[in-house]
Amino acid sequence: MKQAVVLVGGLGTRLGERTRTVPKPLLEVGGRPFLDYILDELTRYGSIESILLLAGHRAEQVVGQYDGRPWRAATISVITEPGQLGTGGALKHAAPRLADRFFLLNGDSFFDFNLLELAVEAARSAATVQMALKRDQAGDRYGRVLLERDVVRSFLPAGAQPNGPVNSGVYCVDRRILDLIDEVPCSLEQRVFPILVAREQLRATLYDGFFIDIGIPTDFARAQVEMPAALCRPAVFFDRDGVLNVDKNYVHKVEDFEWITGAREAIKLCNDRGYLTFVVTNQAGVARGYYGTDAVHRLHDWMACQLAEVGAHIEQFQYCPFHEEGVVEEFRRSSDRRKPAPGMILDCFKGWPVRIEGSLLIGDQPHDVQAAIAAGIEGHLFAGGDLSSFIRPLLRA
């Protein structure tokens, strides 16, 4: 799925004076608008190309700050409601712009889990809505979701049960849902979801991970401290040739690419455990004239598609095309990004919220480990076999 839709139109009355002049998702958390964290999360997967913000209350502020902006590889558009339409009405109003299937998120909550895994589960179930549930969130504030395997059977109101799964406000949605919205205002939760439950077309998947809803003052205050800390994550850096794919000397064509056993599963394991994941690869074949940078990008785009099929992703593919003995003048020089120098790793530190403690690199050559040590992280040599089995004991829970 290449589209995400974020509901940012609510009034936020429980936050009192804070939201009288500012939309709730634009309130600052840790020095940034809360919505920025959601946009960062959506775009780190690389597959989202279009993000629609469905705005209502103080919509002009959302338009002014976000409409038309690029966010990593995605483009943001704002659709303004003509009035308070409710969550379902906002979707109906945006109908001409909606893809056949899309991610849908509440703009006042954040859930840190593997979003692509939800898309894979949605494709398997063919449900109209596949919802992500926080496995257990203690407290009387939340309603609970009752499941029979992965089928949603009912919803319990807030306070009815002190623990159990809660709706995180993140969904994979089929546009067939629009057929159930026959009048506005309309609430997805109150009017549409009960119909889907009766038809067994509302499925759910349980996930762990950091979750917060800023809808009440105590949780808004808690978010100020917890969000920036929770989203600074350790990372796994993968060398490419010899680690993710069989090294056949200067691999640059899809037809020559062969995944190492367990490579895609290893990356997904890192995603599921909450690690940021990067590829850092020397590509001297560019400097030597064997292929161009466009070939590198094509192959990495293909790898990303292959990974998405199993619910996995790479945050960023870093490569170094330079070599001091190159024949292509543009790339004939030394570079602090070429391993054993740590430049590619350090550039990831600069561009992403990487926590150095707990981060590691997997390579197949001594210069990979040297680059890791120079960057201040652990380096591990992979000698072949199943990559997922190799990396599993190196990751924290």
The C-alpha torsion from 26 through 29 and 32 to 35, rounded to 10°, is: -40
- CB under 8 Å to 259, separation ≥6 — which residues? 244, 245, 246, 306
Element (H, E) at 370: helix 366-375
Nearest to 223 by CA among 63, 36, 65, 44: 36
Nearest to 390 by CA among 234, 236, 249: 236
Please report how the helices 115-125 and 263-272 are oriented relative to each other, as an axis angle in degrees rounded to 10. 110
3-class DSSP assignment, residue 259: strand
**Which tokens go with 287?**
């400097």
Q: Which amino acid is at 82?
A: P
Q: Which amino acid is at 349?
A: F
Catalytic-labelled residue, pool 36, 108, 213, 239: 239
DSSP symbols for 203-250: EEEEE-S-EEE-SSHHHHHHHHHHHHHHT-B-EEEE-SBTTTB---SS
174 among known catalytic residues: no
**Separation of alpha carbons 113 and 210, rounded Å:** 8
Catalytic-labelled residue, pool 241, 256, 272, 386: 241
Strand ranges for the chain from DSSP E: 3-8, 28-29, 32-33, 50-55, 70-71, 74-80, 101-106, 109-111, 129-134, 144-148, 151-156, 166-174, 202-207, 211-213, 235-238, 276-282, 316-320, 360-363, 378-381
364 among known catalytic residues: no
**Separation of alpha carbons 37 and 51, rounded Å:** 14
What separation in angstroms does the CA of 48 have from each of 116, 197, 354, 372?
10, 28, 22, 30
* Active site amino acids: 239, 241
